[in-house]
Structure 1
């Protein structure tokens, strides 16, 4: 067992696994390898067949549906964790969504409804999760969410998700300040672009991958496995002195972009 990344005896919730190639999957594997017991969610019945094999490989005892736009589903996840475990040590929020027509439009053409939905799913849901986690983190804990460099610089075709991710990173800072007295640390993990199902909705995403690979110092695109190592560190006791930060897991792209 790695003495730094030791999650033995800890219990965590992972929200955002869509299939074996998800960023959340890479994180969950490292949580599990470090000794954590995991609860995982899937979006809906269509997603369940892709998530179940991942959950089985993780030996997850709790596997539940969770669409944050459906009343009561997120609350049901935390109620189940409270009933079965009585506590939660860490949480990973790795979900984002914008309607295709708004994601593909320039920001000035984004609809109010589309902007509101993107903000609800991609940002406010993390705040909701933090509130629901509080009663289960009486001994402290770690809250993590996934962001991207488009939160702080304009990235072509990222459009509405840029300001939404900026709001998410700001929320991390405010939550970190709000929850510091409860020994709960809060992190945004800003990853490099990863070819996931969610990312496929961004126009010209392959061109973005090529551009980032060319401009990254080692000409290397990060993998879900590499991102997972960072997440496992932040979930561990070794990560407790870090809070309120955007932690870059992007092979240095942010330093030269």
Structure 2
């Protein structure tokens, strides 16, 4: 029904072939979009570059979102090569291990600030950079989790951080709606990614999700990618500001 041919999509957050960002990049490409993919650093590049090349990414660039220089360089490259951007996908989050595994009330100020900067404000920084490249509208997406809206055991400080990310999504959607730019938060249920492996007893959460979800199936990165590709299409341009569960119905029970 929809087609992304000719669209330009930036995907931030690919770490390996199990990443949600990779599932989205693959879906964008399958629907015809030209893609740009970033990798965190030299250590991550050997894991990301082959995936990006396999997808025919036209831009493959380093991006540590805490580096304003790398952010500026990335968008300069996009401007010079494409001159515009249609879709932004932000799928990164970080917390110090001691803050993630400890009590929320014991989280250090520095740790809380770092988690908020990398996981939330980086999305706003990316949107700020993308906005001038979307004069005819576009789509910005991030990735959240149900721990933003209710307590999930062992999710720790990332619960409040993801809650802030969802609030930022709503405010950005309200501010950018008049410019034809939609903003979304994708909220997959528990699924196996490298980031999720850092959460204590995550296997138990996966098993519980599969058992309790009405479909009795965990979400996959392909499920998330398919949904993201629809939201990136012109058919979805009048949809904005939502937190979109992609979880087999797990969040309703």
- Asked if TM exceeds 0.5, the reply is yes
In structure 1, the partner of 2:58 is 61
Q: Deviations over 1:111-147 (max 9, x none)?
A: 1111100000000000001110011001100000000
SS of 1:220's equivalent in the other structure is coil
In structure 1, the partner of 2:175 is 178
SS of 1:72's equivalent in the other structure is helix
Residues 70-79 or 44-53, more deviating = 70-79
In structure 2, the partner of 1:83 is 80
SS of 1:247's equivalent in the other structure is strand
In structure 2, the partner of 1:194 is 191
In structure 1, the partner of 2:92 is 95
Extract structure 1 runs of 4+ deviating beyond 6 A: none
Q: 2:147 aligns with which of 150, 153, 160?
A: 150
- Give 5+ residue unaligned stretches, structure 2: none
1:112 partnered with 2:96 = no
- Report the alpha carbon displacement of residue 213 of structure 1 after superposing the two structures with TM: 1.2
1:255 partnered with 2:247 = no
- Report the alpha carbon displacement of residue 200 of structure 1 after superposing the two structures with TM: 0.9
SS of 2:144's equivalent in the other structure is strand
- Report the alpha carbon displacement of residue 250 of structure 1 after superposing the two structures with TM: 1.0
1:246 partnered with 2:248 = no
Q: Deviations over 1:28-59 (max 9, x none)?
A: 10100000000000000000000011101110
2: CA distance between counterparts of 1:62 and 1:81?
8
2: CA distance between counterparts of 1:221 and 1:22?
15
In structure 1, the partner of 2:166 is 169
- Give 5+ residue unaligned stretches, structure 1: none
C-alpha RMSD of the superposition: 0.7
